[in-house]
Amino acid sequence: MRVPLDNIVGSMNDGWRINRTTMVGEHLTNFLGSQAAQAETVARVARTIAEREAQRGIDHDLRARFASAWATTQIVKLHGLRNVARFTAGDNPGAEGSISKLVGQENEKELFELMVDAQGAAGLEETRWTRAWLSTRASTIGGGTSEIHRNKLAERVLGMPRDPWADDDASAPQTTDAPVDLRRPLTTIEKWSHAMTDTPLPSPLPAASYIQLDGPEPRLSFLKCRSCGTMFLEPERLACARCGSRDGFDAHEPRYEGTLHSYSIVHRSFPGTAVPFISAVVDIDDGPSLKGNLRGVPFDADQIDGAMRVRIVFDDALGRRDADGNAYISHFFEPLAAD
């Protein structure tokens, strides 16, 4: 998709700063609604605990948890109001807005869990409170995960060193000249283990849970419902999301070919991510739809067949490493015609 220059907000190559500023505004406006809802929840929890204690006597544990949740709610409220005042005065609170998001939504989880516990056996029934308690798990993901906001606070408020980005100035890893056993060819896994860095690694790591590295070559493994045949990417499930069956799942390794379903040529991405690249969704033969990067084709929509046949290959995940320097292995799509 091409965006006309007249539609660009701000100056060229300044999108990340603008994005951070708009995110601050989003967090502040969301704070106003969530804070009002939390104040109502606190009052409702207090009434529920009072009703429980009228029948069963004082519960010191519930009281202590409620006192902590109430105090945190007041702190988040005062901090949020301060940021709103700064923002409306033309100041940018910056990363400090993450405090309201992080602490507020973690506290919201505690509040609804406290509400469910205060109800006793009634808390096991499906009610607005149990649904709200489950929903708070998603709240710590949407709008930036709690881990992302902790990183923002650590780096931009506390001044701690940030994690390295892919575009940092650093020497590229060199292949090793260490002798290898030439009596047999190395497996793909061994090649990645020995050739990704100067120091041979114990083994690379899968970039996704459905990538298995338990043999000489990487492979895909999905879950297939025994009742309806629906396939899922995650490694474990309690029930099928399509038919509701709890009869279990079987591991399924698909054919490593499929048909391109959709794609997007990405020219701008998160800082540190090399562009352009092609993000694609492929309908795998006898398997689910899978997202990944399409390579081996030009970055030109006029030269890409929107229904091309592709194969799935495995390779180093664009130089990504974990904290110990271990490489990640990911899947990629390539045109079958490349053979």
Nearest to 186 by CA among 217, 212, 214, 157: 217
Question: Which range among 35-39, 88-92, 140-144, 267-271 has the greatest average pLDDT?
Answer: 267-271
Res 158: pLDDT: 75
Is position 248 within any domain? no
Residues 151 and 272 grouped into a single domain: no
CA atoms within 13 A on the CB side of 251: 9
Better pLDDT: 324 or 184: 324
Q: At what angle do helices 128-139 and 97-118 cross, to 10 degrees?
A: 150
The answer to whether the CB of 321 falls within 8 A of the CB of 328 is yes
Residues 151 and 19 grouped into a single domain: yes
Those residues whose C-beta lies under 8 Å from the C-beta of residue 275, and which sit 6 or more positions away, are 266, 267, 268, 269
Res 83: pLDDT: 77
Band (pLDDT 50/70/90 cuts) for residue 182 is very low
Res 63: pLDDT: 93
Can you tell me whether residue 35 is helix, strand or coil?
helix
Structure tokens belonging to residue 290: 């899978």
* Range list of H helices, the chain: 15-56, 60-88, 97-118, 128-139, 146-152, 188-195
Rounded mean pLDDT of 150-170?
A: 67
Residue 302 DSSP label = G
Rounded mean pLDDT of 59-84?
A: 87
**How far is Cα 108 from Cα 115, in angstroms, rounded to an integer?**
11
Domain of 193: which CATH number?
Answer: 2.40.50
Those residues whose C-beta lies under 8 Å from the C-beta of residue 76, and which sit 6 or more positions away, are 35, 38, 99, 100, 103, 104, 107
Residues 142 and 263 grouped into a single domain: no
90-137 residue pLDDT tens: 776 667 777 877 888 888 888 889 999 998 888 888 888 888 888 888
**How far is Cα 72 from Cα 66, in angstroms, rounded to an integer?**
10
The answer to whether the CB of 287 falls within 8 A of the CB of 277 is no
Residues 103 and 195 grouped into a single domain: no
Res 174: pLDDT: 41
Residues 33 and 145 grouped into a single domain: yes
Is position 100 within any domain? yes
Rounded mean pLDDT of 42-69?
A: 92
Band (pLDDT 50/70/90 cuts) for residue 183 is very low
Among the residue ranges 153-157, 200-204, 232-236, the one predicted with the least confidence is 200-204
The answer to whether the CB of 288 falls within 8 A of the CB of 271 is no
Band (pLDDT 50/70/90 cuts) for residue 171 is very low
Domain span including residue 194: 189-213+255-338
Nearest to 213 by CA among 205, 223, 225: 205
| Residues paired with 262 in a beta bridge | 281
Nearest to 98 by CA among 83, 86, 78, 112: 83
Nearest to 330 by CA among 209, 168, 224: 209
Residues 15 and 96 grouped into a single domain: yes
Res 188: pLDDT: 58
The answer to whether the CB of 105 falls within 8 A of the CB of 146 is yes
Backbone angles phi, psi at 257, to 5 degrees: -140, 160
Residues 204 and 142 grouped into a single domain: no
292-319 residue pLDDT tens: 999 999 999 999 998 999 999 999 887 7
Is position 218 within any domain? no
Res 327: pLDDT: 83
Better pLDDT: 176 or 93: 93
**How far is Cα 319 from Cα 332, in angstroms, rounded to an integer?**
14
Res 125: pLDDT: 84
Neighbours of 207 (CB within 10 A): 18
Is position 268 within any domain? yes
Strands 289-294 and 277-284: antiparallel
Rounded mean pLDDT of 266-293?
A: 89
**Considering the chain, what percentage of its residues have pLDDT values greater than 90?**
29
> Does the structure show a pLDDT above 50 at 149?
yes
Average pLDDT over the chain, rounded to an integer: 80
Residues 142 and 267 grouped into a single domain: no
Domain of 102: which CATH number?
Answer: 1.20.140.10
Res 201: pLDDT: 46
Count of domains in the chain? 2
